[in-house]
Structure 1
Amino acid sequence: MAVRSLLALMVFVFCLAEVFFQHVVRGGNRRLMQDIDCGGLCKQRCSLHSRPNVCTRACGTCCVRCKCVPPGTSGNREVCGTCYTDMTTHGNKTKCP
């Protein structure tokens, strides 16, 4: 009986760890991620760009797809993960500012 209880407890802990991993590490809580203000964040991100309208449009596309905009006006792209860093244009140039 004790072995069954221990086994049930281990399965329960494993399930809790999987839920935690989905929500925290992978960003599994999609409802919270959809509440991002892409327009405001991209406007701030592209404020110092030489072509702010082009930058904001590209940033908006990346934000909607990846649910992330890096902090600051340039750099820090790795903060948003491979979705943001690996997206390219038709000419194989990086898409996301």
Structure 2
Amino acid sequence: MTQRRHDPVFPGFKEMAARRERMVEDLVARRLELGLSQTEVAARMGTSQSAVARLESGEADVRLSTLERYAAALGRILDVRLEGPH
């Protein structure tokens, strides 16, 4: 049997995906609060509307730098922290 695209390959994968999904949901909520379209955010990021749509839909495994650019387009800074046991 072949492995599906989103099958976990190591422990914690599902939790990581859920955190990333919440982060994107927060970014989209902020975009909507500001009354910005995907096209406007894309222009601020220097990318296409379709790239923003893919990011927002979860279709793409987005790089950290892309999420940082999205946050900056909304006037925000993306804060990534290392957490867990010592």
TM-score after normalising by structure 1: 0.26
Which has the higher Rg, Structure 1 or Structure 2?
1
- Point out the structure with the larger helix share: 1
Higher relative contact order (CA 8 A, sep 6+): 2
TM-score after normalising by structure 2: 0.28
